[in-house]
Amino acid sequence: AQSVTQLGSHVSVSEGALVLLRCNYSSSVPPYLFWYVQYPNQGLQLLLKYTTGATLVKGINGFEAEFKKSETSFHLTKPSAHMSDAAEYFCAVIEGAGNMLTFGGGTRLMVKP
């Protein structure tokens, strides 16, 4: 069975500071990993995904994530936070194509001026 853990339900950073949102997963087979962002009263927007190949994945809005198999992690980073990055972020995993998406509990990112 697959599961996803996001450490820290709330993360607060200053504008311009590094953003680090943590995600660890458990999966019995090589997983496909995703990060989604949700702005208030909106659906989820795909930020980036890892399926195969290069373990450092670049996404939209300057975000990137690195798949580390040995650590079973897929942490999301951005070098410099912007006020518009304030939102809810969800890490998700599926165990291979065609299977169900399992979400983490979400991390609310707050950006202070």
Partner 1 sequence: GAVVSQHPSRVICKSGTSVKIECRSLDFQATTMFWYRQFPKKSLMLMATSNEGSKATYEQGVEKDKFLINHASLTLSTLTVTSAHPEDSSFYICSARDLDRASGRADTQYFGPGTRLTVL
Per the CB < 8 A criterion, the answer to whether 13 and 19 are in contact is yes
Q: According to the binding rule CB under 8 A, does residue 45 interact with partner 1?
A: yes
Q: What is the C-alpha separation between 33 and 109, in angstroms, rounded?
A: 20
Tell me the C-alpha to C-alpha distance, in Å, between residue 31 and each of 18, 44, 104: 27, 20, 14
Site string for partner 1, 72-111 (x = CB under 8 A): ------------------x---x-xxx-xx-xxxx-x---
Q: How far is the CB of 90 from partner 1 (least distance, A)?
A: 7
H or E element in which residue 24 lies = strand 24-26
Q: According to the binding rule CB under 8 A, does residue 5 interact with partner 1?
A: no
Range in contact with partner 1 (rule: CB under 8 A) among 18-26, 34-42, 60-68, 71-79 = 34-42
Q: What is the C-alpha separation between 21 and 19, in angstroms, rounded?
A: 7
The footprint of partner 1 (CB under 8 A) covers 32, 34, 36, 41-46, 49, 51-52, 90, 94, 96-98, 100-101, 103-106, 108
